[in-house]
Amino acid sequence: MKEIYLDNSATTALSEGVKARMREVMELYGNPSSLHFMGNAAHDVLEMARRQVAASLGIPRPEPGELIFTSCGSESDNLAILGTAFAKPRRRGMRVITTDSEHPGAENAFRLLESQGFEVVRIPTRGGVLDFDRYAAALNDKIFLVSIMTVNNETGAMYDIKRAFTMAKNRNPDIVTHTDAVQGYLKCRMTPKSVRADLVTVSAHKIHGPKGVGALYVSRDSLRRRDIVPLLLGGGQENGFRSGTENLIGIAGFGQAAEEGSASLEENLGKLASLRELTLKKLAALPLRPNLPAGKCAPHILNYTLPDIRSETMLHALSARGICISNGSACSSHSHHQSAALTAFGLSPAEIECSIRISFSVYNTLADVDALADALATELSRLVRRGDARGCAKGG
């Protein structure tokens, strides 16, 4: 049975180049902070990877502190959001702006800030579009941080962060702008400079790199203003922003993945767009409802609502056929919480229960899409006949 992996928003396969690079670095077991020749060799690997990841973000020569390696995208989000909040002198009514559809790595950081007395304003994103009237009304002199994701991980909606961040900077140049770009990184044409972002979260395992390593870009303006403080204290690694001995093997893999993805960006975007368009065409013949963003959308994510069948039932049926898709964010799939992103999008609880996500990588083929369409057609017919219909798509 051929395995078809269409859950690339959850994680991606390692590229062959990344595997080779990580195997090579496994032989370099020196600590990058040590001063002997083995430490120097490890340090060189670390800084090479930093340059590779920074270059993929349009930063050819990163300054100290401009790119901080972390353990994952969620840690980078926490460092950006909490690190910014804790760096500010506390005063009454301090306010941050975000959306109602952020990844849990950001959303739970905002909930912590609320418990500490900060005001968090969540802008609606119904239909995958930021409500700019509500956003403009929320911008005031108490705002110190605006944090809006680049691409939603469940719907593929691309938010107009350039417009949002420009409005914030026009209001006050010292407002810190952050984007969780984990799903948009090397899936769209975006650099921190192009969208006026001070802080950008990225992760390796969404671009065919290893799990357990992420990064936070920090603009030179933010470094100069000392906009963030560290959350992990210790030996002062990562220019003092993230203590702890660096995950050299993972970071080297990240650098390799970033270099590969950056070099083939245009080709990859074209391939992902072709996969998306074929999927929309093939599945249009099936009794599925696509949950398409009203605005711009990323090329690698599609969300559908099934006709009266729970998504979990369909996932197991497709998995038995060797096909992997998902029913939402992998980071919260076992938490039994209703999807905030799909709720914000406008779906009812019953519709969310029957929604699936299909997400591509450049390793997928048009034949994979054909196989998915055939399997869905077969399973939809079988499950309806078996009596698994539950009234999901009707909101019942």
pLDDT, position 395: 41
Total residue length of the chain: 396
DSSP state of 158: B
CB-based burial label for 70 (10 Å; 0-12, 13-18, 19+): buried
Q: What is the pLDDT of residue 243?
A: 98
Catalytic residue among 188, 297, 331, 392: 331
Q: Which fold has domain 16-263?
A: Aspartate Aminotransferase; domain 2 (3.40.640)
Count other C-beta atoms under 10 Å from residue 324's C-beta: 16
Q: Which of 125, 122, 121, 133 is nearest to 95 (CA)?
A: 121
- Assign a CATH topology to domain 4-12+265-386: Aspartate Aminotransferase, domain 1 (3.90.1150)
Helix (H, G, I), strand (E, B) or coil at 61: coil
In the sheet with 289-290, reading across from the earlier edge strand, the strands are 289-290, 301-305, 355-359
* Rg over CA atoms, the chain: 21
Please state, in angstroms and rounded to a whole number, the distance separating the CA atoms of residues 44 and 288: 52
Alpha carbon of residue 131 to chain centroid: 21
Check: CB of residue 310 under 8 Å from CB of residue 91.
Answer: no
The pLDDT value given to residue 396: 34
CA 229 to centroid of chain Cα atoms:
23
- Contact criterion met (CB below 8 Å) for 116 and 172: no
The residue to which tokens 């599609």 are assigned: 302
Q: Where are the domains of the chain?
A: 4-12+265-386, 16-263
Kindly tell me the burial class for residue 29, based on how many C-beta atoms sit within 10 Å of its own C-beta (0-12, 13-18, 19 or more): exposed
Q: Which two tokens stand for residue 169?
A: 């900077």
CB atoms within 10 A of CB 333: 15
Query: Digits of tens for pLDDT over the chain (396 positions)?
Result: 899 999 999 999 999 999 999 999 999 999 999 999 999 999 999 999 999 999 999 999 999 999 999 999 999 999 999 999 999 988 778 999 999 999 999 999 999 999 999 999 999 999 999 999 999 999 999 999 999 999 999 999 999 999 999 999 999 999 999 999 999 999 999 999 999 999 999 999 999 999 999 999 999 999 999 999 999 999 999 999 999 999 999 999 999 999 999 999 999 999 999 999 999 999 999 999 999 999 999 999 999 999 989 999 999 999 999 999 999 655 555 555 678 899 999 999 999 999 999 999 999 999 999 999 999 999 999 998 775 655 565 443
Distance separating alpha carbons of residues 243 and 76, to the nearest angstrom: 13
324 catalytic per annotation = no
Contact 82, 96 (CB under 8 A): no
**Structure confidence at residue 338 (pLDDT):** 77
Q: Report whether 225 contacts 274 (CB < 8 A).
A: no
Nearest alpha carbon to residue 198 among 69, 46, 297, 57: 57
Would you give the distance in Å from CA 67 to the centre of its chain? 17
**Distance in Å from the first CA to the final CA of the chain:** 36
